[in-house]
């Protein structure tokens, strides 16, 4: 709180410290709570990363729908432990509607997203990233639109906070489009990715650098290597428990990338990896769309049928069993009825209501 004796310079210093360390607003003795949603490729390593962040020696299990866990950390000696809520969305892009469950108007100020992309599947990379981020962004924007009516100060604070990742004198300040809440992009399975042709690695690395910088996000490549997992953990601990933000940077495409938000630039990233003639033929309304077209020229997206699960053996006639098939049909009808009822009840719920 400002004192009557504070000079303008004192107030300015306090404001800078407040913006750099928003957790300092938490009064001594209070518990700070933050939430993170992990999403990304199916079997991309999200659970492994969460367990490593929480220092749990468990064998990862496949994530079903939306799963929750939490962790506790103390910011200082003898201080109460802060709480971080970890949500994990399973199923890749098949359960997009569940994104709106954990992110609400009550916690949006302390919410972050970690997008885990499987580097070993570049043909699925852009579609996975685009679908998940688009649905999340649309949902958060709806929450912010409501807050602008009920609490405009908070809405303005959230928008400005994401702009603060770049200094106003940064040459890209007006060229980027920050994600509405803090975002970390993790490229997983670097050990497999490292075996790719060097030119392909450069295209993927350069593209993810652009996307991360454009969204005001942090970027890190990781694998099961303890050293790489520690780097990812450092970024996540910053979001979850307010630990100091790392200022180290690694942009060498022959090594795992590590770029905290705001420490990259379009001039260092360079133009999209394509010839001038190819770029001239591509029609794009935004820089992001141009990079998408260039990336998908090298890594064509898989068709929707390729991304579907394998054929259900229960519907294969060679495994037909009359009595079992009758029971299965009854259960399928029950499941379909449950889905209809659940869908109705979900539509009636307002997860963003104040």
Lookup: tokens for 86:
């970890």
Provide the percentage of residues in the chain whose pLDDT is more than 70. Answer: 79
Output 305 or 5, whichever has higher pLDDT.
5
Domain membership of residue 321 (yes or no) is: no
CA distance 320 to 189: 40
Lookup: tokens for 334:
């029950």
What is the per-residue pLDDT for 211?
97
Q: How many domains does the chain have?
A: 1
Q: What is the mean pLDDT of the chain?
A: 83
Domain membership of residue 224 (yes or no) is: yes
Output 316 or 105, whichever has higher pLDDT.
105
**Residue 136 confidence class, pLDDT cut points 50, 70, 90:** very high
Give the domain range for residue 132: 30-264
- CA proximity to 268, closest of 279, 255, 259, 276: 259
- CA proximity to 66, closest of 35, 115, 101, 36: 101
What is the per-residue pLDDT for 315?
61
Domain membership of residue 85 (yes or no) is: yes
- CA proximity to 257, closest of 165, 178, 190: 190
What is the per-residue pLDDT for 100?
92
**pTM for this predicted structure:** 0.78
What is the per-residue pLDDT for 340?
66
Q: The domain spanning residue 236 has which CATH number?
A: 3.40.50.300
What is the per-residue pLDDT for 159?
83
**Residue 309 confidence class, pLDDT cut points 50, 70, 90:** very low
Q: What is the pLDDT of residues 36-45, one digit of tens each?
A: 999 999 999 9
Question: Per-residue pLDDT averaged across 105-132, rounded?
Answer: 95
> 61-65, 83-87, 195-199, 230-234: which has the minimum mean pLDDT?
61-65
CA distance 134 to 126: 12
Lookup: tokens for 168:
């106003």
Output 265 or 331, whichever has higher pLDDT.
265
- Does 203 score more than 70 pLDDT? yes
Question: Per-residue pLDDT averaged across 151-176, rounded?
Answer: 85
What is the per-residue pLDDT for 354?
45
The total of other beta-carbon atoms located within 10 Å of residue 240's CB is 27
What is the per-residue pLDDT for 306?
44
- CA proximity to 220, closest of 234, 201, 203: 234
Domain membership of residue 270 (yes or no) is: no
- Does 342 score more than 70 pLDDT? no
What is the per-residue pLDDT for 307?
46
What is the per-residue pLDDT for 316?
58
As a residue count, the chain comes to 354
Domain membership of residue 312 (yes or no) is: no
Output 314 or 125, whichever has higher pLDDT.
125
- Does 201 score more than 80 pLDDT? yes
What is the per-residue pLDDT for 244?
82
Output 59 or 125, whichever has higher pLDDT.
125
Q: What is the pLDDT of residues 1-54, one digit of tens each?
A: 445 555 666 656 555 554 444 444 445 556 688 999 999 999 999 999 999 888
Output 310 or 31, whichever has higher pLDDT.
31
Domain membership of residue 114 (yes or no) is: yes
**Residue 317 confidence class, pLDDT cut points 50, 70, 90:** low
CA distance 127 to 142: 23
Question: Per-residue pLDDT averaged across 141-146, rounded?
Answer: 94
Taking CA atoms, 210 is separated from 7, 117, 174, 273, in Å, by 42, 15, 15, 11
Domain membership of residue 12 (yes or no) is: no
Provide the percentage of residues in the chain whose pLDDT is more than 90. Answer: 48
CA distance 249 to 246: 8
Sign of CA dihedral 304, 305, 306, 309: positive
Question: Per-residue pLDDT averaged across 139-158, rounded?
Answer: 91
What is the per-residue pLDDT for 56?
86
Domain membership of residue 5 (yes or no) is: no
> 25-29, 43-47, 241-245, 305-309: which has the minimum mean pLDDT?
305-309
What is the per-residue pLDDT for 19?
47
Question: Per-residue pLDDT averaged across 348-352, rounded?
Answer: 52
What is the per-residue pLDDT for 291?
96
């Amino acid at each position: 709180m400002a004192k009557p004796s504070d000079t303008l310079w004192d107030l300015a210093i306090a404001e800078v410290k407040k913006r750099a360390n928003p957790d300092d607003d938490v009064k001594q003795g209070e518990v700070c709570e933050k939430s993170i949603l992990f999403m990304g490729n199916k079997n991309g390593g999200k659970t492994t990363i969460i367990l490593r962040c929480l220092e749990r020696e468990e064998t990862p299990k496949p994530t079903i729908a939306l799963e929750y866990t939490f962790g506790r950390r103390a910011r200082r000696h003898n201080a109460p432990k802060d709480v971080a809520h970890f949500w994990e969305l399973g199923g890749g892009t098949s359960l997009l509607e569940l994104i709106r469950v954990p992110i609400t108007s009550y916690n949006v100020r302390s919410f972050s997203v970690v997008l885990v992309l499987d580097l070993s599947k570049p043909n699925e990379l852009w579609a996975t990233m685009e679908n998940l981020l688009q649905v999340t962004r649309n949902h958060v924007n709806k929450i912010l639109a409501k807050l602008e009516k009920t609490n405009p100060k908070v809405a303005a604070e959230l928008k400005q906070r994401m702009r603060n990742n770049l200094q106003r004198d940064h040459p890209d300040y007006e060229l980027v489009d920050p994600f509405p809440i803090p975002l970390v992009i993790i490229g997983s399975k670097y050990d497999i990715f490292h075996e790719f042709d060097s030119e392909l690695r450069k295209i993927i690395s350069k593209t993810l650098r652009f996307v991360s910088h454009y969204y005001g996000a942090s970027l890190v490549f990781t694998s099961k290597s303890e050293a790489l997992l520690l780097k990812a953990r450092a970024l996540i601990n910053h979001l979850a428990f307010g630990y100091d933000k790392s200022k180290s940077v690694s942009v060498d495409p022959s090594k795992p990338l590590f770029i905290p938000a705001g420490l990259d630039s379009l001039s260092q990233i360079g133009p999209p990896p394509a010839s001038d003639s190819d770029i001239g033929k591509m029609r794009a309304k935004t820089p992001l769309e141009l990079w998408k077209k260039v990336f998908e020229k090298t890594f064509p997206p898989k068709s929707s049928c390729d991304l579907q699960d394998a054929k259900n053996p229960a519907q294969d006639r060679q495994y037909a069993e009359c009595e079992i098939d009758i029971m299965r049909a009854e259960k399928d009808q029950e499941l379909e009825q449950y889905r209809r009822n659940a869908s109705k009840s979900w539509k009636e719920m307002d997860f963003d209501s104040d």
